[in-house]
């Protein structure tokens, strides 16, 4: 293999630039040529492809977002789109790919490999940490810290005004972001997709607190839990407890941006290196991840179809620590 391409795709995540830097420099270190592909599969189809040097990735390790930009591509989901993409890669002489993204990205890469045989390795870049095959995804640690920083600020107000705050955090269909926010944010209750918490139990907990003069509470709500998010939960709960002063805060898109934490930069660097080294060693169609701090390659087939479980111990921790 002499020439590889790299792209970022799907939702952006802090650390994608650090990963990209590792991919480019590891390639250069090992004597490969490396091309950047802009806007994910869209740029692959449209030939937005350019040569990258070691200096192309100077001073980006600390930046949020992705310098290659990201997009979701409908055209790549068609046979014609993938043919165009393949033609572009042929034109540029690209023999292998590194994909930084999530399961949508890897689904595309798998399909592409099956049809055209282009070997691809993936680095898990998503704030949601919902990918099988790695303990942590790139961007997750930053997103949790960003959310927690917001919760710290909100608690200043909650505490000063003796209010109940219903705070919604991201995480798609999992509670990975919500749980450390609840434990680290000193929350009384956490609602996540993986564990049913009834509206009644929230009402009971808040009423019990109220009766012992505990008038300030924080409830962390994962966007994917089944009651439908912070606004709906707050409305239902406050109907039963009109005496309490409640507010809703949806942390929102800030969780996707910002300078990556040390953890995310290190993880991104390790996995970027692993993708290039893996391609050189002939690996393909797999995602690089870390499990128990060790590097592991998992077939895209598995990362796409299997589900990573969140330990039920964590919700118990929230209950115990909010006593």
C-alpha neighbours within 13 Å on the C-beta side of residue 298? 24
Residue 318 annotated as part of some ligand binding site: no
Least Å distance, CB 301 to a copy of itself, is 25
Q: Does 296 bind a copy of itself (CB under 8 A)?
A: no
CA dihedral 10, 16, 17, 18 (to 10 degrees): -170
104 annotated as a binding-site residue: yes
User: Least separation, in Å, of the C-beta of 258 and a copy of itself?
Assistant: 4
CB atoms within 10 A of CB 2: 10
Could you give the string, one character per residue 216-245, with x where binding to a copy of itself holds by CB under 8 A and - elsewhere?
------------------------------
Closest approach, Cβ 69 to a copy of itself, in A, equals 5
6 or 181, CB closer to a copy of itself?
Answer: 181
Query: Does residue 128 have an active-site annotation?
Result: yes
- 115 lies in the binding site for a copy of itself (CB under 8 A): no
Q: Which of 7, 12, 190, 221 binds a copy of itself (CB under 8 A)?
A: 12
Chain residues 18-57 in contact with a copy of itself, contact rule CB under 8 A = 18, 21-22, 25-26, 28-29, 39, 54
Taking alpha carbons only, the member of 66, 15, 7 closest to residue 42 is: 7
Residue 257 assigned ligand-binding role: no
Residue 253 marked in a binding site: yes
β-pair type (217-222, 164-169): parallel
Q: Does 69 bind a copy of itself (CB under 8 A)?
A: yes
Q: Which of 117, 292, 309, 312 binds a copy of itself (CB under 8 A)?
A: 292
Residues 146-165 that bind a copy of itself (CB under 8 A): 146, 148, 150, 152-157, 159-162, 165
User: Judged by CB under 8 A, does residue 206 bind a copy of itself?
Assistant: no
Minimum CB–partner distance for residue 322 and a copy of itself (Å)? 8
Of 79 and 253, CB closest to a copy of itself: 253
Task: Pick the piece of the chain touching a copy of itself (CB under 8 A) from 11-19, 85-93, 102-110, 198-206.
Answer: 11-19
Q: SS3 sequence, the chain?
A: CCEEEEEECCCCCCCHHHHHHHHHHHHHHCCCEEEEECCHHHHHHHCCEEEECHHHHCCCCCCCCCCCCCCCCCHHHCHHHHHHHHHHHHHHCCCEEEEEECHHHHHHHHHHHHHHCCCEEEEEECCCCCCCCCCCCECHHHHHHHHHHHHHHHHHHHHHHCCEEEEEECCCCCCCCHHHHHHHCCCCEEEECCECCCHHHHHHHHHHHHHCCCCCEEEEEECCCCCCCHHHHHHHHHHHCCCCCEEEEECHHHHHCCCCCHHHHHHHHHHHHHHHHHHHCCCCCEEEEEECCEEEEEEHHHHHHCCCCCCCHHHHHHHHHCC
CB closer to a copy of itself out of 62 and 305: 62
Stretch near a copy of itself under the rule CB under 8 A, chosen from 85-93, 102-110, 260-268, 278-286: 260-268
> Is residue 66 part of the contact set for a copy of itself (CB under 8 A)?
yes
Q: Which of 45, 52, 181, 222 binds a copy of itself (CB under 8 A)?
A: 181
Q: Please count the residues of this chain forming the interface with a copy of itself, following the rule CB under 8 A.
A: 75
Residues with active-site annotation = 128
């Amino acid at each position: 293999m002499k020439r590889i391409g790299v792209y970022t795709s799907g939702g952006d995540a802090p650390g994608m630039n650090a990963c990209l830097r590792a991919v480019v420099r590891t390639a250069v270190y090992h004597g490969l040529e490396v091309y950047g592909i802009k806007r994910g599969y869209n740029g692959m189809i449209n030939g937005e492809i350019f040569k990258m040097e070691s200096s192309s990735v100077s001073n980006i390790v600390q930046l949020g977002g992705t310098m290659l930009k990201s997009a979701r591509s409908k055209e790549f989901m068609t046979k014609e789109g993938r043919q165009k993409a393949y033609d572009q890669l042929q034109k540029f002489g690209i023999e292998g790919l590194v994909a930084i993204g999530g399961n949508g990205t890897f689904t595309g890469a798998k399909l592409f490999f099956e049809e055209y045989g282009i070997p691809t390795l993936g680095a898990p870049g998503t704030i949601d940490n919902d990918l099988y095959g790695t303990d942590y995804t790139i961007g997750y640690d930053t997103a949790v810290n960003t959310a927690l920083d917001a919760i710290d600020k909100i608690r200043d107000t909650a505490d000063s005004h003796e209010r109940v705050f219903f705070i919604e955090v991201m995480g798609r269909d999992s509670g990975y972001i919500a749980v450390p926010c609840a434990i680290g944010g000193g929350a009384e209750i956490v609602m996540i997709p993986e564990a049913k918490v009834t509206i009644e139990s929230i009402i009971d907990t808040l009423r019990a607190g109220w009766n012992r003069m505990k008038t300030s509470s924080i409830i962390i709500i994962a966007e994917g839990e089944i009651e439908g998010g912070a606004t709906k939960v707050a409305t239902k709960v406050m109907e039963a407890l009109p005496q309490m002063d409640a507010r809703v805060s949806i942390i929102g898109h800030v969780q996707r941006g910002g300078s990556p934490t040390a953890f995310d930069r290190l993880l991104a660097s390790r996995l970027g290196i692993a993708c290039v080294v893996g391609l050189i060693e002939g690996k393909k169609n797999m995602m690089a991840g870390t499990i128990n701090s060790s590097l592991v390659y998992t077939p895209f087939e598995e990362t796409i179809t299997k589900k990573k479980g969140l330990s039920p111990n964590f919700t118990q921790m929230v209950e115990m620590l909010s006593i």
